[in-house]
């Protein structure tokens, strides 16, 4: 049987169905469905693999989250944890963190704020210069005395200026001692003839006063003889003096079997009387030892500031009797009466220096501080 082969009809591109199929046949419907699904799949792949970024990228949301957490952390870091008190009531820049309730104040000690304020005060107000005047001369105990005073001055908080005055010429031994002390010093020489003077220290102290007046040194002047014994507290207290300060001195009696007290009787810092005896009461106005007072150096070169009645320079007098009128005649040039004096320390209740008079008169002066060998034989130890 001959077979009849039907030719395919030409392809019409404008028809929505395939060649040979009806518009609403099952084959055409399934074909359309498959084409629609494949087009959706291709569009999905195109969207996910498109390299062009969108205008609203995925980075904005993490960025805003990071910014929010950063601001929260910054605010928490700036917030103080603990109880804060206003220290002075008006000063809002100083803070003190209170300790827990179960910790006592004594266990915590001085707060950081108090220590900081104290340090700032020490740095803001410079210490007053202490000018120590020491007359000296060649004798057997000179090296011992000068070294003893130097070791005390080394412990005093600076600034300290030690003015050492010798007579006629500066000795090599004294210069060597001063160079090794570590204390700021000035080595002066008194050119006055002191052969006929009982107290050579008068002109030596005047030489130091002239030096202070010439260079206008601003500080507290203290006459510290090399044979006295001084406490460290004395030099620390000198900076509290405004014009003229005085304190009691313990002195060894001529019999050297007891000590006597000489100096002021104080009510707080006010001088209300003097320690004295009947003999000195008749001969002295101010019963104080030469090492028992100190004064402001501006009295020497700025008398108008203190309204001093004297026009001549403030100096010690060598025409008065030693040990009775020297201190009085000098103090009368500095103050009018006890109302211008200050008791040091408060109430004058402690002895800060001692005047002993223990010099060895018959011992020769060792040249160069070197003792000659006095042994005739040396015995070796077996």
Active site residue 107: no
Q: What residues have CB less than 8 Å from 299, skipping those under 6 apart? A: 243, 306, 308, 314, 334
Q: Where do we find the tokens 């004798």?
A: 139
Q: Is 184 helix (H, G, I), strand (E, B) or coil?
A: coil
Q: Is 259 helix (H, G, I), strand (E, B) or coil?
A: strand
Give the max Cα distance, the chain.
178
Strand ranges (DSSP E) for 217-269?
A: 220-223, 229-230, 244-246, 249-252, 259-267
* Residue 131 to residue 113: CA distance in whole angstroms: 34
| Cα 9 to Cα 6, 30, 206, distances in angstroms | 9, 21, 145
Q: What residues have CB less than 8 Å from 345, skipping those under 6 apart? A: 233, 237, 247, 352
* Consecutive H or E run containing 44: helix 26-48
* Residue 247 to residue 289: CA distance in whole angstroms: 9
Point out the annotated binding site for Mn(2+). Answer: 227
Give the DSSP letter string of 322-365: TTTTHHHHHHTTT-SSGGG-EESSGGG-S--EEE-----SSSPP
Among the options 166, 173, 262, 327, which is catalytic?
Answer: 327
Letter string b/e over residues 137-173, b meaning 16 or more CB atoms within 10 A of that residue's CB: bbbebbbebbeebbebbeebeeebbbbbbbbeeebeb
Question: Which strands make up the sheet holding 259-267, listed edge to edge?
Answer: 229-230, 353-355, 249-252, 259-267, 270-275
HSE-up (13 A, CA, CB side) for residue 160: 22
* Residue 133 to residue 149: CA distance in whole angstroms: 11
Task: Output the CA torsion sign for 185, 186, 187, 189.
Answer: negative
Q: What angle do CA 12, 17, 23 make, to 5 degrees?
A: 120
Residues annotated as catalytic are: 327
């Amino acid at each position: 049987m001959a077979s009849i082969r039907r030719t395919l009809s030409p392809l019409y591109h404008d028809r929505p169905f395939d060649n040979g199929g009806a518009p609403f046949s099952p084959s055409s419907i399934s074909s359309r469905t498959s084409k629609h699904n494949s087009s959706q799949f291709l569009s999905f792949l195109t969207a996910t693999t498109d390299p062009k970024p969108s205008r609203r990228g995925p980075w904005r949301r993490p960025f805003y989250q990071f910014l929010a957490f950063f601001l929260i952390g910054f605010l928490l870091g700036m917030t103080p944890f603990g109880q804060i008190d206003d220290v002075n009531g008006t000063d809002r820049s100083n803070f003190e963190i209170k300790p827990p309730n179960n910790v006592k104040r004594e266990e915590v000690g001085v707060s950081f704020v108090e220590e900081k304020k104290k340090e700032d005060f020490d740095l803001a107000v410079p210490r007053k210069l202490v000018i120590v005047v020491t007359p000296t001369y060649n004798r057997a105990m000179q090296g011992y005395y000068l070294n003893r005073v130097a070791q005390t001055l080394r412990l005093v908080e600076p600034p300290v200026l030690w003015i050492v005055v010798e007579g006629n010429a500066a000795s090599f031994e004294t210069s060597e001692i001063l160079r090794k002390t570590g204390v700021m010093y000035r080595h002066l020489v008194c050119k006055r003839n002191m052969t006929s003077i009982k107290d050579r220290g008068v002109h030596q102290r005047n030489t130091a006063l002239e030096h202070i007046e010439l260079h206008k040194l601003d500080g507290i002047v203290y006459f510290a003889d090399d044979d006295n014994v001084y406490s460290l507290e004395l030099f620390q207290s000198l900076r509290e003096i405004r014009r003229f300060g005085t304190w009691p001195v313990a002195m060894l009696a001529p019999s050297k079997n007891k000590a006597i007290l000489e100096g002021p009787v104080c009510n707080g810092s006010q001088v209300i009387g003097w320690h004295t005896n009947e003999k000195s009461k008749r001969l002295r106005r101010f019963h104080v030892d030469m090492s028992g007072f100190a004064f402001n150096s501006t009295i020497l070169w700025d008398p108008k500031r203190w309204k001093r009645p004297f026009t001549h320079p403030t100096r010690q007098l060598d025409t008065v009797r030693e040990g009775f009128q020297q201190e009085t005649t000098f103090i009368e040039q500095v103050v009018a009466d006890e109302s211008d004096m200050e008791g040091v320390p408060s109430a004058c209740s402690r002895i800060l220096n001692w005047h002993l008079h223990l010099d060895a008169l018959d011992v020769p002066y060792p040249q160069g501080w070197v003792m000659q060998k006095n042994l005739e034989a040396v015995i070796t130890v077996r």
